[in-house]
Structure 1
Amino acid sequence: MTPPFIRSLARDRFLHLLLLIGVILTFLVPFAPARWPAAIDWHTIITLSGLMLLTKGVEQSGYFDVLGRKMARRFVTERQLAIFMVLAAALLSTFLTNDVALFIIVPLTLTLKKWCAIPVNRLIIFEALAVNAGSLLTPIGNPQNILLWGRSGLSFPAFTLQMLPLALAMMATLLVLCWCCFPAKKLQFQSSDATPSWRPKLVWCCLAFYLVFLAALEMKLELWGLVCVAVGFLLLERRVVYSVDWTLLLVFMAMFIDVHLLTQLPALQHSLHGVGQLSDGSLWLTAIGLSQVISNVPSTILLLNYVPPSVLLAWAVNVGGFGLLPGSLANLIALRMANDRRIWWRFHLYSLPMLLWAALTGYGLLHLLGHL
């Protein structure tokens, strides 16, 4: 019998695409595989590993079933439930970062379909858009904001204030879309009145592991924190470790290496040298366009070498999180957790119009507020 990890590798078309892109790029840039491990953001990989273990632990405990049942019975219509989940995703992302918010919201959303008939894929797509919109508000909402905040010298309130108009515009847009895309039909319950069983001991252990992991992250000892969490689950409930989608980590590693190879392309390096002389409109489009190809965090790192951490740059790289799948790593996390191939192309039916609207609205607001 084929191990689950091998079956997952064989089915992962996105990983296959990333590997193919990497092979092609190795013929276009100097071949230096010794540098590839340094191109991987190991802090992100380790953090994702810990979060996946903790989320899977809560899922295996059955607590998401209990919470999902309570939520399904609290809301009357599909629209009410969708708006609540979108707002919760956006709010969590402002202080817990967009990735962490998804590790909480998406598993909960997946359990909701056990208790009521809802369009789960559509809701997860909106949650992915919501964490991109919500996380742009604060300096700690996403990695690119952390970078920009550190370079800008602004206080926490000052940075938040400069991002507020764009965040309000994007959230207002999402709520209008929610109102239009989720009908006000009454929720139909699909299960009996029996209360789902869950394991309180595993939930409390997950909470304890989370506190240990959080403390390790704060002390820059993330690897030891991951080891503690992994050993804890191996002793308590080893099925958690085996159930995690570990191929997601390979996808992220491949993305980091591909981005590293892309930045070595002579044509890209030559064009970036002229970024500092671009007009405001050209810089706006360049930052958004670059984010679509190599994701908004690497785009921010690259562009900060040539331009100051202005409001325009901060808004542009956050707008770049919408649109194509690579625009934000949060998009990839949300769609992978959905575990449905159909969601990959459906995501772009909403995200691409959102990108166009965000680009036009954001640039208009910048002009109106005098930041251009």
Structure 2
Amino acid sequence: MQLAVIVLFFVFILIAVRRIGSFRLPIWGIMTAGAVAVLLLGQISIPDAFSAIQWETILFLFGMFVVGAAIDLSGLLRSYADSLFAGIRSQKKMLFWFIFAAGFFSAILMNDTVAIIGTPFALWCAKKYNVPAKTMLFALAAAVTTGSTASPIGNPQNLLIASSGLHEPFLLFLYYLFIPTVIGLLMVYFLLAWSLKFNKTVCENPILDETGAVVGCEIPEEPKAAPGFLLLTKLSVVVVFVMIALLIMASVAGYEFSLLFIALFGALPLLIFSNRRVELLQKVDWTTLLFFVSMFILMKSVYDTGFFQNLLPAGFEASVPALYLISIVISQFISNVPYVTFVLPVLENAAAPVVSYMTLAAGSTLAGNLSVFGAASTIIIIQNAEKQKETLTFLDFLRFGIPLTIAQTVLFIGWLMLLS
């Protein structure tokens, strides 16, 4: 077996265990060590490693992380959430709105962005509504994964697929994947709402209803940001939405522009005019960007061995069930972004129909609901939760992820076969 594959195997094991003795290993550090290892072992040259990095994806993430950092620092999300959830006392009603809000925004702001800004909010909801933190963390992970399926900018792998030459990507994703995505989010809700009856927590400052039942917990208010910074943050969010609308209209008119413009134009007002730009740059999740850079390098070295390509059956790209199921399985071992970089050339060389690209997008994305290995957004959520002394273990995730993935697999394969 080639050395690059052996390195990947050890990376996989370490991410699952994440502990050597009493020392806890950061996930980004494990992936970075893997990239350094293949470079030192001569499995990939430095020029090839540099060219393997999907710089458009990295820059897109950077721009959205800046916007996400501003949303977090300004308290914009918390202020709107307080208004939205003001009249919600029920745990199940909160869970419903949380899942659909996270799913909607992940389709627009990219799932990794929502994973970053949504983790502290998910833990806030867990405390306020007396819901187990693990339940809210999985709700966030599954919602951003599922919701991101329906958009070409919902996640990095969809961005790669949309950038591979698809015409009118926004309309294609909407036509093929919007309806099953909404149903998929409902599946997330019903699974977690059902689980609430088996999970009870206790809060220090309970809120009681007129019958004396605990309906939530008192949470201290956070300091509000200066009006000027809050206004700039709102402007950046508006710019993101406007850029998305312009790109959709341009796509319909037959003009194609890089999706990178959405993130960069959204971040520009903050980076140019804000007096907190240094604080914003400090708050950008640089370790996640390093994780992606390292992952691209490691996976390119593995790709060059031909190991995983040899596991793919001949003609799998022409079958919706085969392509979808293979995407689910292999994404657990090499994550969905590098898997898509493996398969895209196969689809392009075979002149595969559009439904194959949509199947690749759905399967590789929803693989993230099976285990913590399936999506980088889940790793982001776990890393951010651990900063607040909470976590979601490999087995915790599987308990929710296995039934959800089975149900969503039946749904999406049936839907895509119907359209094909």
What is the TM-score of this pair, normalised by structure 2?
Answer: 0.70
Return the match for 1:349 from 385, 392, 399. 399
**Residue equivalent to 2:63:** 50
Q: Report how far residue 80 of structure 1 moved.
A: 1.2
Letter in 2 for 1:119: P
Return the match for 1:89 from 96, 102, 107. 102
**Residue equivalent to 2:355:** 310
Could you list the per-position Cα deviations for residues 90-145 of structure 1 after superposition, in whole angstroms to 9, with x for gaps in the alignment? 22233443334445544433444675544344213212211222222344434444
Indicate conservation of the 8 Å contact 2:103/2:144, yes or no.
yes
Note closer, same or farther for the CA distance 1:64–1:196 as it changes in structure 2 (3 Å cut).
farther
The answer to whether residue 226 in structure 2 is matched with residue 190 in structure 1 is no
Out of 267-276 and 289-298, give the one that drifted further.
267-276
Indicate conservation of the 8 Å contact 2:65/2:113, yes or no.
no
Q: Report how far residue 18 of structure 1 moved.
A: 1.4
Secondary structure class of the residue paired with 1:74: coil
Note closer, same or farther for the CA distance 1:113–1:243 as it changes in structure 2 (3 Å cut).
farther
Q: Report how far residue 69 of structure 1 moved.
A: 4.0
**Residue equivalent to 1:181:** 195
Note closer, same or farther for the CA distance 1:227–1:58 as it changes in structure 2 (3 Å cut).
closer
Structure 1: any 5+ residue segments left out of the alignment? 1-9
Secondary structure class of the residue paired with 1:188: strand
- Say how many residue pairs are matched: 359
Give aligned-pair identity as a percent. Answer: 22
Return the match for 1:335 from 382, 395, 406. 382
Out of 327-336 and 151-160, give the one that drifted further.
151-160
Return the match for 2:335 from 273, 289, 295. 295
**Residue equivalent to 1:119:** 132
Indicate conservation of the 8 Å contact 2:176/2:419, yes or no.
no
Note closer, same or farther for the CA distance 1:186–1:251 as it changes in structure 2 (3 Å cut).
same
Secondary structure class of the residue paired with 1:321: helix
**Residue equivalent to 1:246:** 286
Indicate conservation of the 8 Å contact 1:72/1:115, yes or no.
no
Give the whole-Å Cα distance in 2 for the aligned partners of 1:166 and 1:37: 37
Indicate conservation of the 8 Å contact 1:292/1:326, yes or no.
yes
**Residue equivalent to 2:372:** 325
Q: CA RMSD in A?
A: 3.9
**Residue equivalent to 1:3:** none
Out of 49-58 and 287-296, give the one that drifted further.
49-58
Mapping of 1:19-34 within 5 angstroms? 19-23=32-36, 25-26=38-39, 30-34=43-47
**Residue equivalent to 1:6:** none
Could you list the per-position Cα deviations for residues 183-217 of structure 1 after superposition, in whole angstroms to 9, with x for gaps in the alignment? 5975323247x795443222112234556788698
Give the whole-Å Cα distance in 2 for the aligned partners of 1:179 and 1:68: 20
Out of 318-327 and 146-155, give the one that drifted further.
146-155
Indicate conservation of the 8 Å contact 1:170/1:358, yes or no.
yes
Give the whole-Å Cα distance in 2 for the aligned partners of 1:68 and 1:241: 25
